[in-house]
Amino acid sequence: MSAVQFSADGRLRHLITLEGVPRAELEALIETAAALRQTALRPVNKLPTLRGRTVVNLFFEPSTRTRTSFELAAVRLSADVINFDVGQSSTKKGETLIDTLRTLEAMRCDLFVVRHKENGTPALLAEHAQAGVAIVNGGDGNHAHPTQGLLDAFTIHRHKGDDFSRLSVAIVGDILHSRVARSDIHALKTLGVRDLRLAAPAQLLVPELRSVGQVFDNIDEAIEGADVVMMLRLQKERMDQALIASDAAYYAEWGLTPERLARARPDAIVMHPGPMNREVEIASEVADGPQSVILEQVGNGVAMRMAVMSRLLTA
Amino acid sequence: MSAVQFSADGRLRHLITLEGVPRAELEALIETAAALRQTALRPVNKLPTLRGRTVVNLFFEPSTRTRTSFELAAVRLSADVINFDVGQSSTKKGETLIDTLRTLEAMRCDLFVVRHKENGTPALLAEHAQAGVAIVNGGDGNHAHPTQGLLDAFTIHRHKGDDFSRLSVAIVGDILHSRVARSDIHALKTLGVRDLRLAAPAQLLVPELRSVGQVFDNIDEAIEGADVVMMLRLQKERMDQALIASDAAYYAEWGLTPERLARARPDAIVMHPGPMNREVEIASEVADGPQSVILEQVGNGVAMRMAVMSRLLTA
Amino acid sequence: MSAVQFSADGRLRHLITLEGVPRAELEALIETAAALRQTALRPVNKLPTLRGRTVVNLFFEPSTRTRTSFELAAVRLSADVINFDVGQSSTKKGETLIDTLRTLEAMRCDLFVVRHKENGTPALLAEHAQAGVAIVNGGDGNHAHPTQGLLDAFTIHRHKGDDFSRLSVAIVGDILHSRVARSDIHALKTLGVRDLRLAAPAQLLVPELRSVGQVFDNIDEAIEGADVVMMLRLQKERMDQALIASDAAYYAEWGLTPERLARARPDAIVMHPGPMNREVEIASEVADGPQSVILEQVGNGVAMRMAVMSRLLTA
């Protein structure tokens, strides 16, 4: 939980983590995203909401995909966008980072999307941000990726409706390295999911998660009768040691194949935050199959990021 | 020829190659470019045509110059532009490339300019593109560079008029490595050029080209009495072996000097796709001289790319 | 002085250096910047002044901070902006550089912000620029950084009023490597500053400067009774040899501490062009203290760059 993201009167000023964000706030964001999703279908896919405001993509960890989603969200609200790519090599020390923030604030930039490989950088910047300036966590270390958690909740809501308490949701894979899993769990618990199942190889599971859901050491039991199957990306680039014997071995034991998916409910949806390792954590037949909502997640991501930016800058 | 670029009713959906593009289509694009060229001279150099549409520059091969031309074409039609620079090192495999396309399509991007060092990548993406999404080949390997072919045809049309059948056109230089030459040849043949002359050192000539024009092994004969002299860039960066003894030796034998240009018609125009190797394939005196239309080609390139984008997205 | 920046009738066509720019021109730019600064406080922080015009950031020396300031200035005047980052490795030779300019001019780009590690590159481009095209020096070598000089003069004007002749201004630090110092000196002398003090370690002082101000070999005497204390960044990245024993030694002898600042007038303002080396040339207590106008300089920089662009393109 991050007290820094709320103003004294309880309003959301920054978005650092979904931990502690009230259910009413999550529902309001889902409702706004649903409305904004409609504008994406109009011939002129653009709203004047943030005209004259400036959004800065402050990415200390490269991610063209996520940066593009935030950039499109901003330009479709008519904001001006600055891509301030810092690169991994020049990761700044705390103090200099705050001078960078102060400098861009002095240029009258309004909202910063911050992505950093170290946990806590967006929160640090939020602590130092001027009144009126908003910080959005675009992913920090393995801590949080709150807009992903929101877009996943939004996607489930579109398919399964208002009552999250009836749903069985399985999150499967590399939970250890996954900021997505953390943010999904916070969103789903707050929205009322009671049957939350976490499945990972023992070496990729975080012991503390035992308190938030039921833990499984195999995928088959975890997805039995599930309404939602959320697969995680195997983040080999974040693994210090060889935690995984081979892609093929992981796929044999943990890959979501059509046979395995048959254990879930017939109307279960399959989710993945992307980019996918095909035939590692998921079979192409499933990824591209009728139960997959993976590409819809991508589109919902732009709408949800528009919702977050609108809410932080105009509420 | 690329069937993928036409819809069932014969409309141009993508622009992958000029091979097989009908004469009426080429003429319509030239006419549109001519009209758009006028808007570039107005004080407010901007049209609302693509407002709310998104153009992605998907460049797997870096080219600031070509990227800038497409970027300016898009912004002057009021489109939003995403520069998705992938870099040479991370050249993606076929399947992942298609996932990248799907992801950006899901974000509701409308047109992709694709540049890749491997032949066929834009065609591959066009095969997989969603309905309503357009792919423009921004140059692939030594296969095709269709917007360059179009802007060259447009430039010739501006100086020499409607009747291409009367023209003698010489293309001189590194034909082996030149996607520009291939696209120029397709445009010029379709527009009716009968006297097409191809001149290159033996090791830089493609034997198959003997069927499309008259082949010369020296520049002097090739440009004798020509209306148009199109010089190619010596693409040393694409040569696997040392095909050329030295810049000076190439210039002595193949460089377009004022003396050589005197063999062409007095009103002949000199073209080059840029960037030039001065005093290698062309003398500065010629490049900057009164017969040169090289800088006009650059300006016509923006107008033609506007024409292509408009036609693909609004036709 | 750079004659190239004036048209035959004395109008400012380019901004290469502040040397030789008349006082009336400086005052007009300060007045325009003051007006534009007000627009930055409005809810929609945008003017239509340069709609349909194209500004190119042609940066041969990377500087995200300065590039961002120019980019924001341009977009807030509704210009289209192209970031043409060339990178240090591909620094182009004179002739090719001019071909790059010609190419971008042919694409109808209107204003180029040029930053280069070699002195004279912006002036070279200005000499070759087409009629109607403006070059702005975004910093060249240790020669000049005229928009910084202007924003510093603007900042002093806001705090100390119209009469520069009454002011005592101290410039302290690495004057040898500082294009900022050179541009500040030109602006301040032209605006009438009589008591201009230059303080630097002997090895970081330029002998020729003795003619423009009083030279000091220590900071304490230099800032005694000063109205304005301008600290310079210690530019270790530009030092060929080890001109400085250590950061700590420099701080002990030359750092602006609260104790030292007490020697200046009680209402003295403290300036720094950024980015700061905290606890090297300046104490954090001073940088963040009540007399510091360092962040205001940053905001004034955007307004002044808007003023320069407007004046060059619409006057």
CATH assignment of the domain containing C150: 3.40.50.1370
Question: Hey, CA dihedral for C276, C282, C283, C288, is it positive or negative?
Answer: negative
> Measured between CB atoms, does B43 come within 8 Å of chain C?
yes
Task: List chain C residues with CB under 8 Å of A99.
Answer: 274-276, 278
| Same-domain status, B127 and B254 | no
Coil, strand or helix: which one is C91? coil
Tokens matching residue A194: 């009671």
B95–A276 C-beta distance less than 8 A:
no
CA distance A61 to A91: 9
Residue (of C298, C313, C291, C11) closest to C133 by Cα position: C313
CA distance B62 to B73: 18
Indicate whether A152 pLDDT > 90. yes
pLDDT band with cut points at 50, 70 and 90 for residue B86: confident
* pLDDT, tens digit (0-9, with 9 covering 90-100), for C275-310: 999 999 999 999 999 999 999 999 999 999 999 999
Q: For the purposes of burial, counting CB atoms within 10 Å of the CB of C131, is it exposed (0-12), middle (13-18) or buried (19 or more)? A: exposed
The amino acid occupying position B139 is G
Indicate whether B210 pLDDT > 90. no
| Same-domain status, C277 and C310 | no
Relative orientation angle of helices C146-160 and C294-314, to the nearest 10 degrees: 120
The answer for A 79-108 residues in CB contact with C (under 8 A) is 80, 82, 84-86, 95-96, 99, 102-108
A107–C276 C-beta distance less than 8 A:
no
Cα–Cα distances in Å, from A269 out to A234, A264, B59?
A: 20, 9, 34
Mean pLDDT over B3-11 rounds to 91
Question: Hey, CA dihedral for A142, A148, A152, A154, is it positive or negative?
Answer: positive
Residue (of C246, C244, C259) closest to C201 by Cα position: C244
Distance from CA of A296 to the nearest CA of B (A): 7
| Same-domain status, A152 and A286 | yes
CB distance A154 to A191 below 8 Å: no
Q: Among A143-157, B232-246, C275-289, whose mean pLDDT is lowest?
A: B232-246
Residue (of A267, A273, A314, A288) closest to A32 by Cα position: A314
Q: Write down the pLDDT at residue C95.
A: 55
Q: Write down the pLDDT at residue A89.
A: 37
pTM, full prediction? 0.94
Percent of chain A with pLDDT over 70: 94
| Same-domain status, A87 and A176 | no
CA distance B152 to B156: 6
| Chains touching chain A, criterion 3+ CB pairs below 8 Å | B, C
Tokens 């110092």 identify what position? C181
CA distance C97 to C92: 6
Q: Write down the pLDDT at residue C90.
A: 41
| Same-domain status, B172 and B50 | no
Q: Write down the pLDDT at residue C89.
A: 36
CA atoms within 13 A on the CB side of B271: 32
| Same-domain status, A61 and A134 | yes
Q: Write down the pLDDT at residue A93.
A: 44
Residue (of A148, A77, A173) closest to A297 by Cα position: A148
Coil, strand or helix: which one is C305? helix
Q: Write down the pLDDT at residue A62.
A: 79
Tokens 């010629």 identify what position? B286
> Measured between CB atoms, does A262 come within 8 Å of chain B?
no
Q: Write down the pLDDT at residue A3.
A: 83
| Same-domain status, B156 and B110 | no
Q: Residue C45's closest chain A neighbor by CA?
A: A52
C107–B301 C-beta distance less than 8 A:
yes
**From the list C54, C103, C109, which residue is nearest B65 (CB)?**
C103
* pLDDT, tens digit (0-9, with 9 covering 90-100), for B44-68: 889 999 999 999 999 988 788 999 9
Q: Write down the pLDDT at residue C96.
A: 81
C51–B72 C-beta distance less than 8 A:
no
**Chosen from B96, B108, B111 to mutate, greatest number of chain A CBs within 10 A:** B108
Relative orientation angle of helices B294-314 and B23-39, to the nearest 10 degrees: 110
Residue (of B58, B48, B188) closest to B133 by Cα position: B58
Q: Write down the pLDDT at residue B55.
A: 98
* pLDDT, tens digit (0-9, with 9 covering 90-100), for C216-272: 999 999 999 999 999 999 877 666 556 677 899 999 999 999 999 999 999 999 999
Residue (of C293, C6, C281) closest to C156 by Cα position: C293
| Same-domain status, C136 and C108 | yes
Residue A15: strand pairing partners: A136
pLDDT band with cut points at 50, 70 and 90 for residue C61: confident
Relative orientation angle of helices A94-106 and C294-314, to the nearest 10 degrees: 40
Task: List chain C residues with CB under 8 Å of A85.
Answer: 64
Cα–Cα distances in Å, from B224 out to B185, B195, B218?
A: 19, 12, 11
Residue (of C53, C143, C125) closest to C86 by Cα position: C125
| Same-domain status, C71 and C150 | no
CA A286 from centroid of its chain's CA atoms: 21
Coil, strand or helix: which one is C133? coil
Tell me the backbone φ, ψ of residue A82, rounded to 5 degrees: -110, 125
Percent of chain A with pLDDT over 90: 79
Indicate whether A245 pLDDT > 80. no
Residue (of B106, B70, B95) closest to B85 by Cα position: B70
CB distance C283 to C17 below 8 Å: no
Q: What b-and-e string marks burial along C36-69, b requiring 16 or more CB atoms within 10 Å of the CB?
A: bbebbeeeebbbebbebbbbbbbbbbeebbbbbb
**From the list C64, C296, C302, which residue is nearest A84 (CB)?**
C64
* pLDDT, tens digit (0-9, with 9 covering 90-100), for A46-104: 999 999 999 999 998 878 899 999 999 999 999 999 998 775 334 444 458 899 999 99
Tell me the backbone φ, ψ of residue B201, rounded to 5 degrees: -60, 150
Question: Hey, CA dihedral for A89, A93, A96, A98, is it positive or negative?
Answer: positive
CB distance B19 to B35 below 8 Å: no
C82–B72 C-beta distance less than 8 A:
yes
Tell me the backbone φ, ψ of residue A276, rounded to 5 degrees: -80, 145
Distance from CA of A51 to the nearest CA of C (A): 6
Q: Write down the pLDDT at residue A241.
A: 57
| Chains touching chain C, criterion 3+ CB pairs below 8 Å | A, B
Secondary structure element (H or E) that encloses residue A55, with its range: strand A54-59
> Measured between CB atoms, does A45 come within 8 Å of chain B?
yes
Q: Among A116-125, A297-306, B196-205, whose mean pLDDT is lowest?
A: B196-205
Q: Residue A73's closest chain B neighbor by CA?
A: B107
Q: Write down the pLDDT at residue A177.
A: 84
Indicate whether B245 pLDDT > 80. no
Q: Write down the pLDDT at residue A237.
A: 65
CB distance C136 to C8 below 8 Å: no
- Give, in degrees to the nearest 5, the angle at Cα C11 between C5 and C15: 35
Indicate whether C173 pLDDT > 90. yes
CB distance B89 to B117 below 8 Å: no
| Same-domain status, C130 and C8 | yes
Average pLDDT, chain C: 92
| Same-domain status, B157 and B141 | no
CA distance from start to end of chain C: 21
Indicate whether B208 pLDDT > 50. yes
> Measured between CB atoms, does B48 come within 8 Å of chain C?
no
Mean pLDDT over A197-206 rounds to 88
Residue (of C24, C56, C36, C27) closest to C304 by Cα position: C36
Residue (of B247, B251, B297, B246) closest to B270 by Cα position: B297
| Same-domain status, C37 and C140 | yes
Mean pLDDT over C89-110 rounds to 78
> Measured between CB atoms, does A295 come within 8 Å of chain B?
yes
Secondary structure element (H or E) that encloses residue B196, with its range: strand B195-199
pLDDT band with cut points at 50, 70 and 90 for residue B90: very low
The total number of structural domains in chain A stands at 2
CA distance B96 to B91: 10
Nearby residues of C185 by Cβ (< 8 Å), 6 or more positions away: C171, C196, C198, C209, C212, C213
Indicate whether B19 pLDDT > 70. yes
Tokens matching residue C81: 């902006």
Q: Write down the pLDDT at residue C1.
A: 60
Tell me which of A179 and B243 has the higher pLDDT.
Answer: A179
Task: List chain B residues with CB under 8 Å of A295.
Answer: 102-103, 105-106
CA atoms within 13 A on the CB side of C52: 11
pLDDT band with cut points at 50, 70 and 90 for residue A1: low
Q: Write down the pLDDT at residue B6.
A: 95
CA distance from start to end of chain A: 21
The range of the structural domain enclosing residue C223 comes to 146-293
